Structure 1
Amino acid sequence: MGLRYRTAIIGAGSIAADAHVPAVRALEDELDLVAVADADAERAATFAGTYGIAASYDDPAELLRIEEPDLVLVCTPSSTHPELAVAALRAGAWVYCEKPVAGSLADHDAILAAERATGRYCAPVFQWRAGSGATHVRGLLRAGTLGAPLLALCQTTWYRGAEYYAVPWRGRRDTELGGATVTQGVHGIDLLLWLWPDWREVSARVSTVDREIETEDVSLAHVTFGSGAQASVVNSVVSASQESYLRLDCRRASVELRHLYGYRNADWTFTPAPDVPPTEPGWDTVPEEVPATQRTQLAGIVAAMRAGRPPEHTATDARRTTEFVTCLYKSAATGAPVARGSVGPGDPFYASWWGAV
């Protein structure tokens, strides 16, 4: 029980340096960062030297074979995630994979099949779920404290300019997989679907209004939930005034979250309905601060590894988000609403959320 898990990072880019190395270092009593791999051997070696990592590789397969890690953090360009996640699972490791964990329902289901075959788990990087604010609100919703869900607004209006898209794999359907919807907006979308899980149908439009890219820089969607609740989802990378905004209007109260890339308890506000407010004491106060970061989510994964149980946030429940994104893109392509559960093997959108393209 006292052994540190052998941990490896695949992908030596900015997200690994800025978010994942600090998360692992914060858990140094539990995790031993033994290796890094990157397709660019020089970058891998530089990364290893900068962060005091013993071994570097330019081939992830060689890293998995030689180092035999217990835990692998996948921080590579989007299109490589499914293959690397499956390879790490088959090598006997648990996986913490950056979003999007898959670029299609077919790829996502391949990861789930690898989980079943190996008994290991792939957890998606959806750290906004892990903060104390989201956990508190989810508890209120499950307990019925806020009343029935009625209307949601989910807005990810960010800015990504020429410097961002100068990175060769960004802005391309074959490598980044998607634009404002799945690269930027997916955190807000996933949080909405984690809080209100019973989405039923989506009607959407995607467009490239300004950036010189293959993927969309704006998307808009109307969502119907099984309960009858409605939602509006807006994603953008052309917004100079940047904000991440989530609003949940329920029968007894409204809950709002305003932030940019990561929230704190103070970013949540609670407004009771004038006629039928919640009556439970403390409903509008988030408990002790737990940051919505990769460190928080990674700590939960390590605890699950120790306990021999699935992590709280799994590839199984993240499939809901992959399916939503798939249906959003299909609706935008076909001009028709798309129902949850309607995209399966044989549908071109099952193999790629861009359809036959």
Structure 2
Amino acid sequence: MTRLRTVAVVGCGIGRSHIVEGYVPNADKFRLLAICDIDEKKMHALADEFSVERRIADFDDLLAMDDLDIIDICTPPKLHFPMVMKALKAGKHVICEKPLVGSLSEVDQVIAQEKLSKGRLMPVFQYRFGDGIEQAKAIIDAGIAGKPFIGSVETFWTRGPDYYEVPWRGKWATELGGVLMTHAIHQHDLFNYLMGDIKRLFGRVATRVNKIEVEDCVTASIELTNGALASFTATLGSADEITRIRLTFEHVTFESDHEAYNPGAKPWVILPRDQATKDKIDALLKDWKHVPSRFQTQMARFFDALENGSALPVTSADSRRALELVTAFYYSSLTHQDVELPIPNDHPNYESWIPAAFRQTDEVPHGNRS
């Protein structure tokens, strides 16, 4: 009989979604052992809801639990780096919400620590999982789509003043960025996942929707290493909410379902250029088995990777690629210059993209996140 992997969820905001979508449907794989949050009211409410006995206010107490396998970090972004490092040093497996950390320097330190730890780290990019995104990926990986030509990513979401009533949001020191870092990072990851690595970026960021420190509107022109071109646009000021990814290849054009927070779930629009291509796609997808979306599949595949020693469904290298894009975006907007990737460790933004005036911070609560 397969042993259940024990989990502690740290943070009761998005942490609840991890439980509902990730651990409850995978009850044959995971056992929720503890809830950790400094907000005792929220911690007890979540623990009561899922009948969890251990309620922990101090993160460090989790590190000493011999019967705890996995620490799932769902705290404000500023706390991810120290918590991930502590958990890895304690030999725990780690799941961490996006953004993994707050700079290329930090992610390189995490990658170095991973090599020394017996625990494995999986960052969260839950939009990668579902029928739509995985069918597109299968077609591309099979070579049916052919050469990539051009693509666009549109993240048109809505966030008003009430969203920023949560104290850590909208601030450089605690959220580490705005729509680029917290919201569009998922869609940009999907683009890289399907189209390939970025070679050069010219970007703009602006704060136009809310009275916050960080950006809520961005746009960029992209060149990929394979020669394809792309545009990225994101805002938190849309009257409705959609996520749209449209990718044109030599033989196939793909367009995502427009649902804002789960663009990979439903089958995408797949437009083959000719009948021969359609026949290849039909043959490839003929016996397709349904892939549950978001956390359900990501957590299940994490379990399989731990059991079998196989590749993780999302890696720290994937997070590094996402953070390299963020680094280039902010620097391009600041300097009004193209930025070429990869970004070297002597780059001005390698240690931090946060404006110097905002790099000093007070202690940050490590409780709620949503």
Same fold (TM over 0.5): yes
Q: Does 1:26 align with 2:20?
A: no
**For residue 300 of structure 1, what is the aligned residue in structure 2?**
301
Tell me the distance in 1 between the aligned counterparts of 2:83 and 2:178: 21
Amino acid at match of 1:290: V
Where does 1:52-71 land on structure 2 (aligned, <5 Å)?
Answer: 52-66=51-65, 68-71=67-70
Q: What residue number does 1:175 align with?
A: 174
In the alignment, the residues of structure 2 paired with residue 331 and residue 117 of structure 1 have an alpha-carbon distance, to the nearest angstrom, of 35
**8 Å contact from structure 2 (residues 92, 118) kept in 1:** no
Supply the AA of the counterpart residue of 2:325: F
Structure 2: 5+ residue stretches without partners: 358-370
Equivalent in the alignment of 1:117: 116
Listed as ranges, the matches of 1:166-205 within 5 Å are 166-205=165-204
Which range moves more in the overlay, 291-300 or 15-24?
Answer: 15-24
More divergent stretch after superposition (274-283 vs 138-147): 274-283
* Letter paired with 1:259: E
Structure 1's 259 and 22: CA in aligned 2 closer, same or farther, altered over 3 A?
A: closer
**SS at the partner of 2:291?**
coil
Partner of 1:131: 130
Whether 1:262 aligns to 2:295 is no
Please give the residue correspondences for 1:42-57 in structure 2 after superposition, counting only pairs within 5 Å. 42-57=41-56
Give the letter for the 2:70 counterpart.
L
Taking a change above 3 Å as real, the CA distance of residues 265 and 82 of structure 1, as seen in their structure-2 partners, is closer
What is the identity, as a one-letter code, of the residue corresponding to 1:337?
D
Separation in structure 2 between the aligned mates of residue 267 and residue 2 of structure 1, nearest angstrom:
33
Runs of 5+ consecutive residues of structure 1 not aligned to the other structure: none
2:105 aligned with 1:106: yes
How do residues 199-238 of structure 1 correspond to structure 2 at under 5 angstroms? 199-238=198-237
Partners of 2:265 and 2:12 lie apart in 1 by 31
Q: CA deviation at 1:20?
A: 3.0
Q: Distance in 2 between matches of 1:43 and 1:262?
A: 26
Letter aligned with residue 262 of structure 2: G
Counterpart contact for 2:131–2:266, Cα < 8 Å: no
- C-alpha contact 1:77 1:175 (8 A) present in aligned 2: yes
1:82-101 maps to which residues of 2 (within 5 A)? 82-101=81-100
Q: Aligned partners of 1:276 and 1:337: how far apart in 2?
A: 40
Give the match for residue 12 of structure 1.
12
Distance in structure 2 (CA, Å) of the matches to 1:303 and 1:317: 19
Deviates more, 1:306-315 or 1:18-27: 18-27
Deviation, 1:309, is 2.9
CA gap 1:200/1:281 in 2 versus in 1, 3 angstroms: closer
Distance in 1, Cα, partners of 2:304 & 2:217? 38
2-side partners of 1:207 and 1:284: how far apart?
43
Residues 1:2 and 2:2 are matched in the alignment: yes
Distance 1:163-1:233 versus aligned 2 partners, 3 A rule: same
Give the match for residue 317 of structure 1.
Answer: 318
- Check conservation: 2:134, 2:264, Cα contact below 8 A: no
Measured after TM superposition, the shift of residue 146 of structure 1 is: 1.0
Which 10-residue stretch deviates more, 128-137 or 197-206? 128-137
> Matched residue of 1:348: which SS?
coil
SS of corresponding position for 1:170: coil
CA–CA separation in structure 2 for the residues paired with 1:226 and 1:157: 27
Distance 2:20 2:30 in 1: 11
Residue-pair matches, total: 355
Verify the 8 A CA contact 1:146 1:278 in the aligned structure 2: no
Aligned-residue offset at 1:343: 3.6
Equivalent residues of 2:99, 2:319 under 8 A apart: no
Change (3 A) 1:12 1:188: same
Tell me by how many angstroms 1:185 deviates: 0.4
TM-score normalised according to structure 1 size: 0.93
TM-fit CA distance, 1:68: 4.7
Q: Quick check: 31-40 or 228-237, which moved more?
A: 31-40
Q: 2:109 corresponds to which letter in structure 1? A: A
The one-letter code of the counterpart of 2:47 is: A
CA distance in 2, matches of 1:200, 1:355: 24
**Paired position in structure 1 for 2:328:** 327
1:349 pairs with 2:339: no
The amino acid that maps onto 1:71 is: I
Using the TM superposition, give the Cα deviation of residue 84 of structure 1 relative to its aligned residue in structure 2, in angstroms: 1.0
How many Å separate the matches in 2 of 1:56 and 1:67? 16
Contact 1:37/1:56 (8 A) holds in 2:
yes
The one-letter amino acid paired with 1:288 is: K
Secondary structure of the structure 2 residue equivalent to 1:212: coil
- Single out whichever of 295-304 and 118-127 deviates more from structure 2: 118-127
1:70 Cα offset (Å) = 0.7
State the alpha-carbon separation in 2 of the partners of residues 210 and 318 from structure 1: 27
Distance apart, 1:289 and its partner CA: 2.5
